């Protein structure tokens, strides 16, 4: 479309029929199964600062989950170095794979194309599935991975969507303009969930709701991601020229199995950011109580989704989304085929949700899962509080192509596809050709033995006893990117490539 974006997904991991899985050990071991013979340069954390807040200050500390102290004690018993605990891998497709708080996390490469991003998100599933199969062979026990956001015991792990945007927009305006959209986006982006949950555990097992993450948000804006989670995260790590850009680090979304839901989630948000950068989002969309609203919308089984606006006027989630759609129709830049697809499908989806959400079986995750579980409840004569349903909920998110419930539906042709298996297979091995991820991924594939360290915006090579750093900051600009990609494709050795891009 018209901005760099990407998705970070933490996966749930268990060993089949093993009551006491050590998720840290298994997550680390699984990540090391990615191309185990490849060089593994150090991920350079020195330029990352999760305490730096976009509102102009640095936080004193980050909020931690109540269980975090106990988790840290368990981590110390592993006797692993920080590098081993993270086990960072820089993938040939430009992505990153690492252990994050006992979850294998896959971060897609930076993409410009919406359907490229969908393919690379699915490529992450395939890469992790391949790692799980290798680890299963080592153990003689099946390693199972789930692309979901909850363990039903009070813990939530994230799916974060990231967008490069102009720093010139005041962050307070970004926050105010984005919150009503974030709160209501779940009507099409929610993954669906059996049960209401708090950090103390399962609160009401018999309720079905739209979102797996909605239960876990308690503040409007903050730098935190693990506890007291915000509707708008204020972490200021642009991974690009900080004088020009900021990275919007969105943590409010669910992990989607549906390609259609992923595309709609990312595409609509990108268009809303177009409107925010043009300062055309009106303050009248503000919600009276957005923290309560995100939970109320998620848990509303009538699907009327009423909300109260800050001025006291009643509204509903569909009406709020229609306001953002109208703004995007008037002001969205880059009127290309993907933009037109987003605008068309956004409107179609909102119309269907207003009539009957069940029209969207096979398109939206929460609807498809609800349809599947409802059929099971009726067939088995059980109620919605039965633990069996939470088990089926989890199995919907299995990334096993042969056993996962979502993939059973896909194999039967019951869900909408946006990319084909050839697209996904290509994304497993190849970075997108129109972003700086191409330089990162292809440099790793060709010169990985020389890469000493890496981060999102640089690569450091060891050359003849010295270190030479290639900054990827300028590669946000199309002309600079083209110069680097052409140099990479035209040269056969590292020295020639570095010389061609002006690194002596």
- List residues with catalytic annotation: 100
List the single range of 166-170, 222-226, 455-459 with lowest mean pLDDT. 222-226
Q: Bridge partners of 306?
A: 316
List the single range of 174-178, 179-183, 196-200, 271-275 with lowest mean pLDDT. 196-200
Burial of 79 per CB tally in 10 Å (0-12, 13-18, 19+): exposed
Tell me the C-alpha to C-alpha distance, in Å, between residue 50 and each of 86, 98, 171, 246: 16, 17, 17, 14
Q: Is the pLDDT at 68 greater than 80, yes or no?
A: no
Phi, psi torsion values for 326, nearest 5 degrees: -60, -40
- In terms of DSSP H, where are the helices of 185-314? 186-189, 259-277, 290-299
Q: Is the pLDDT at 269 greater than 90, yes or no?
A: yes
The residue with greater pLDDT, 66 or 319, is: 319
445/94 Cα distance (integer angstroms)? 9
355-393 core/surface letters (b: 16 or more CB in 10 A; e: else): eebeebbbbbbbbbbbbbbeeebeeeeeebebeebbebb
Tell me the C-alpha to C-alpha distance, in Å, between residue 349 and each of 73, 188, 331, 441: 47, 7, 20, 36
> Cβ contacts of residue 82 below 8 Å, gap of 6+?
none
The whole-number pLDDT of residue 211 equals 98
Angle at 275 between CA 240 and CA 218, to 5 degrees: 75
> Cβ contacts of residue 10 below 8 Å, gap of 6+?
100, 101, 103, 104, 105, 157, 158, 159
Average pLDDT, whole number, for the chain? 94
Tokens of 388: 């069996």
Terminal C-alpha separation, the chain: 35
Which long-range contacts link 468-473 to residues 24+ away (Cβ below 8 Å)?
468/498, 468/503, 469/503, 470/439, 470/443, 470/498, 470/501, 470/503, 472/436, 472/439, 472/440, 473/240, 473/241
Q: What is the mean pLDDT of residues 259-288?
A: 97
Per the CB < 8 A criterion, the answer to whether 299 and 207 are in contact is: yes
Q: Is the pLDDT at 5 greater than 90, yes or no?
A: yes
Residue ranges of domains in the chain: 48-72+146-419, 436-500
Q: Is the pLDDT at 75 greater than 70, yes or no?
A: no
pLDDT band at residue 358 under the 50/70/90 scheme: very high
Q: Structure pTM?
A: 0.96
145/143 Cα distance (integer angstroms)? 7
The residue with greater pLDDT, 225 or 115, is: 115
The whole-number pLDDT of residue 73 equals 62
Q: Is the pLDDT at 189 greater than 70, yes or no?
A: yes
Q: Is the pLDDT at 461 greater than 70, yes or no?
A: yes
> Cβ contacts of residue 110 below 8 Å, gap of 6+?
4, 5, 6, 94, 164, 432, 435, 436, 437, 456
Per the CB < 8 A criterion, the answer to whether 452 and 42 are in contact is: yes
CA 428 to chain centre: 17
Q: Is the pLDDT at 62 greater than 90, yes or no?
A: no
User: Torsion angle, CA of 206/209/213/216, rounded to 10 degrees?
Assistant: -60
> Cβ contacts of residue 337 below 8 Å, gap of 6+?
none
The whole-number pLDDT of residue 402 equals 95
Picking from 300, 350, 11, 318, the residue whose alpha carbon sits closest to that of residue 148 is: 11
The whole-number pLDDT of residue 79 equals 72
The whole-number pLDDT of residue 81 equals 87
Give the largest Cα separation in the chain, rounded: 72
Q: What is the DSSP code string of 410-464? A: HHTT-S--SS-HHHHHHHHH---TTSTHHHHHHHHHHHGGGEEEEETTEEEEEET
* Cβ atoms within 10 Å, residue 243: 8
């Amino acid at each position: 479309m018209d901005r760099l974006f990407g998705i970070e997904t933490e996966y749930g991991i268990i060993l089949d029929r093993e009551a006491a899985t050590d998720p840290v050990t298994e997550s680390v071991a699984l990540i090391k199964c990615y191309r185990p013979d490849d060089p593994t340069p150090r991920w350079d954390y020195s330029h990352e600062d999760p305490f730096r807040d976009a509102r102009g200050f640095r936080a004193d500390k980050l909020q931690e989950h109540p269980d975090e102290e106990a988790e840290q004690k368990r981590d110390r018993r592993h006797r692993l170095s920080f590098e081993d605990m993270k086990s960072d891998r820089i993938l040939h497709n430009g992505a990153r794979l690492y252990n994050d708080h006992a979850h294998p996390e896959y971060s897609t490469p930076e993409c410009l194309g919406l359907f490229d991003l969908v393919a690379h998100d699915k490529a992450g599933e395939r890469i992790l599935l391949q790692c799980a199969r290798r680890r299963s062979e080592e153990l003689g026990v099946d390693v199972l991975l789930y692309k979901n956001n909850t363990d039903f015991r009070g813990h939530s792990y994230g799916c974060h969507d990231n967008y490069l945007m102009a720093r010139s927009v005041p962050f307070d305006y970004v926050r105010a303009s984005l919150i009503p959209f974030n709160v209501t986006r779940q009507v099409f982006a929610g993954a669906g969930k059996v049960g209401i949950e708090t950090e103390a555990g399962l609160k009401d097992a018999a309720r079905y709701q739209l979102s797996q993450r909605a239960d876990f948000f308690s503040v409007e804006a903050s730098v935190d991601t693990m506890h007291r989670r915000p509707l708008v995260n204020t972490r200021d790590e642009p991974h690009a020229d900080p004088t020009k850009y900021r990275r919007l680090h969105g943590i409010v979304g669910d992990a989607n199995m549906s390609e259609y839901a992923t595309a709609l989630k990312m595409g609509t948000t990108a268009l809303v950011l177009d409107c925010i950068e043009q300062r055309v989002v009106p303050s009248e969309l503000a919600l009276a109580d957005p923290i309560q609203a995100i939970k109320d919308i998620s848990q509303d089984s009538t699907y009327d989704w009423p909300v109260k606006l800050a001025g006291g006027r009643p509204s509903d989630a569909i009406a709020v989304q229609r306001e953002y759609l109208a703004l995007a129709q008037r002001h969205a830049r880059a009127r290309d085929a993907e933009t037109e697809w987003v605008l068309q499908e956004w409107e179609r989806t909102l119309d269907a949700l207003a009539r009957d959400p069940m029209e969207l079986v096979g398109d939206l995750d929460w609807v498809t899962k609800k349809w599947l579980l409802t059929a099971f409840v009726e067939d088995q004569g059980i109620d919605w509080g039965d633990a069996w349903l939470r088990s089926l909920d989890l199995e919907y998110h299995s990334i096993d192509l042969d056993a996962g419930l979502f993939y059973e539906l896909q194999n039967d042709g019951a869900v909408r596809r946006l990319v084909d298996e050839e697209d996904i297979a290509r994304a497993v091995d190849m970075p997108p050709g129109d972003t700086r991820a191409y330089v990162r991924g292809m440099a790793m594939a060709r010169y990985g033995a020389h890469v000493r360290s890496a981060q999102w915006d640089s690569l450091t090579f060891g050359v003849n006893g010295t270190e030479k750093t290639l900054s990827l900051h300028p590669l946000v600009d199309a002309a600079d990117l083209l110069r680097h990609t052409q140099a990479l494709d035209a040269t056969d050795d590292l020295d020639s490539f570095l010389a061609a891009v002006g690194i002596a």
